[in-house]
Amino acid sequence: MDTRSEFSSRFGFLMAAAGSAVGLGNIWGFPTQTAENGGGAFVLVYLFLTFVLAYPVLMAELLIGRHGRTHIMGSLNKISHSEASRKASIVISIYALVVVSLILSFYSIVAGWMLTSFLDPVARLMGLDNAATWLTNFSLERNLLAGLSFLILTVWVINRGVKDGIEAWSSRLMPMMIVIIIGLIAYVLTLDGAMEGLRVYLTPDFSRVFDPDLVISALGQTFFSLSLGVGTMMIYGSYVSRKENMIKLGAYVAVLDTSIAVLAGLLIIPAMYVAQHNGVSIYAADGALLSGDTLVFSVLPQLFASLGSAEIPLSLFFFALLSIAALTSSISMLEVPVAYVSENSNFHASRHRASYLLALIVAAMVIVILFNFESLFGLVIAFTTQISQPLIGILFCLYAGWIWHRNSVLEELAQGNPEVANSLFWRVWPNYIRFVCPVLLGLVYWQSLS
């Protein structure tokens, strides 16, 4: 593939960027975090932070990327004008490459559970009940096999390139997924117990809105969900044609991603309460969520099981879709180091080579995490999503706000949007990312540490 090829259309980019954004973060991360953090209050803080912090960072990444038209280090370098900022871009890029690889490793593990949930009905359909039991029980062997298989799938798709790989998959998936989720919400709301879930989801407990743990979880979740702070959106921005209006594209991606997260919550939180109504323990006596990481994987199959003969086809189809949604995200993660290695003349590596090599490194991380699951899994997630993604995101903002020359920013924005100099966006955004974003983020960190 020619790495500098562009997305073939606005729709193609939208589907690919949204494909990166929409994934386990929406269907697994957001509902689990909402359930863990008391429902509506989390949703409210999440929406607020998406609007005031994540969207401005998304714009910074997309614009730096389209301007640079290369990998993350190259793009940051291009807007740097001093020795110090050039050196800093090396450090930030390496940090981002490490973080994205760590994300891909825990992501492969969770996506592996999606794959097994998809294979379970297949096995049952074929009468292989023992295999089905093995697939649904949590074990080291199963997790290894599933996680590594998912990683192999990721490499396979990424080697097909931007247009045939990423774009083609994403544009077919998204609309189908939305329709199915809406259908399932309509169904779940008719079941006993669902209304209690809906109430928890939609009524914020305002006393919790400033709870530091809740705020830092919501911050990590929104950066994770929009694929920010690791260079993914920068890379995707680098594939966008100069004819496109970036401000609009960014807004579409943010709105689509957030809507799908909110929809997934609307399905999964009521489904949890339905399960609870039917005797499954969801919360411990002290109110803590039980087995949060795997909750979605037990609640959804139970919901499908209540559908009678529709169970097998529906769970098969649904988990296939979710696996593909996870794939369109994981390829966007692997794309960051692959673009870096294959476009860097020091490495002399083709895209294929780079992708296999990097996948091997990530596979090693998957194995290490799985062998030390109890101690490492949660830690890696907290380190990458709650600490690193927002931090790097803000560094990107500082680059866009302080280091990149303002005229050049305006020129970039004006491509595909000639009237931008008079727009509200141009009046607000540059100072906003200079001052407001870093200060807000500093406040959140300070609050969560104190």
Residue 328 CA to residue 170 CA, distance in Å, equals 6
The amino acid at residue 27 is I
The nearer residue to ligand PHE, 26 or 238, going by C-beta atoms, is 26
CB of 126 to ligand PHE, least distance (A): 30
Closest separation in Å from C-beta 26 to ligand PHE: 5
d(CA 185, CA 168): 27
Question: Read out DSSP for 143-163?
Answer: HHHHHHHHHHHHHHHHTTHII
Binding interface with ligand PHE (CB under 6 A): 20-21, 23-26, 103, 224-225, 227, 230, 232, 329, 332-333
Bridge partners (DSSP) listed for residue 283: 289
Q: How far is the CB of 100 from ligand PHE (least distance, A)?
A: 6
User: What is the smallest separation between the CB atom of 258 and ligand PHE, expressed in angstroms?
Assistant: 11
Neighbours of 439 (CB within 10 A): 11
- Measured from the CB atom, is 136 or 225 closer to ligand PHE? 225
CB of 7 to ligand PHE, least distance (A): 17
- For residues 135 and 333, which CB has a smaller minimum distance to ligand PHE in the complex? 333
At its nearest, how many Å lie between ligand PHE and the CB of residue 227? 3
Query: What counts of helices (H) and strands (E) characterise the chain?
Result: 23, 0
Q: Which amino acid would we find at residue 327?
A: L
- CA-CA distance, 105 to 147, in Å (whole number)? 8
Judged by CB, which is closer to ligand PHE: 80, or 227?
A: 227
Name the residue among 296, 261, 363, 272 with its Cα closest to residue 114.
Answer: 296
- Residue 123 vs 216, nearer CB to ligand PHE: 216
Shorter beta-carbon distance to ligand PHE: residue 103 or 441: 103
Q: How far is the CB of 79 from ligand PHE (least distance, A)?
A: 21
Q: How far is CA 33 from CA 220, 221, 254, 265, 382, in A?
A: 10, 8, 19, 10, 12
103 versus 246: smaller Cβ distance to ligand PHE = 103
Beta pairing partners, 289: 283
**Nearer to ligand PHE among residue 103 and residue 247 (C-beta):** 103
Nearer to ligand PHE, 366 or 409 (CB): 366
Q: Which is nearer to ligand PHE, 42 or 425 (CB)?
A: 42
Q: Which two tokens stand for residue 220?
A: 């990590």
Note whether 256 and 280 are within 8 A (CB). Answer: no
Asked if residue 213 lies in contact with residue 41, where contact means CB atoms within 8 angstroms, the answer is: no
* Residue of this chain nearest to ligand PHE (CB atom): 25
Give the separation between CA 33 and CA 45, rounded to whole angstroms: 12
CB of 30 to ligand PHE, least distance (A): 8
What is the distance in angstroms between the CA of the first residue and the CA of the last residue of the chain? 49
C-beta pairs of 377-383 under 8 Å, 24+ apart in sequence: 377/106, 377/109, 377/293, 378/293, 380/102, 380/105, 380/106, 381/106, 382/220, 383/102
As measured in angstroms, the least distance from the Cβ of 24 to ligand PHE is: 4
What's the helix, strand, coil split of the chain in %, to 5? 80, 0, 20
Q: How far is the CB of 21 from ligand PHE (least distance, A)?
A: 5
Residue 65 sits at φ, ψ, to 5 deg, of -65, -50
* Rounded Cα distance, 128 and 62, in Å: 47
Nearer to ligand PHE, 177 or 333 (CB): 333
* Least distance (Å) between residue 58 CB and ligand PHE: 11
Cα–Cα separations (whole angstroms), residue 119 to 125, 257, 357:
10, 27, 28
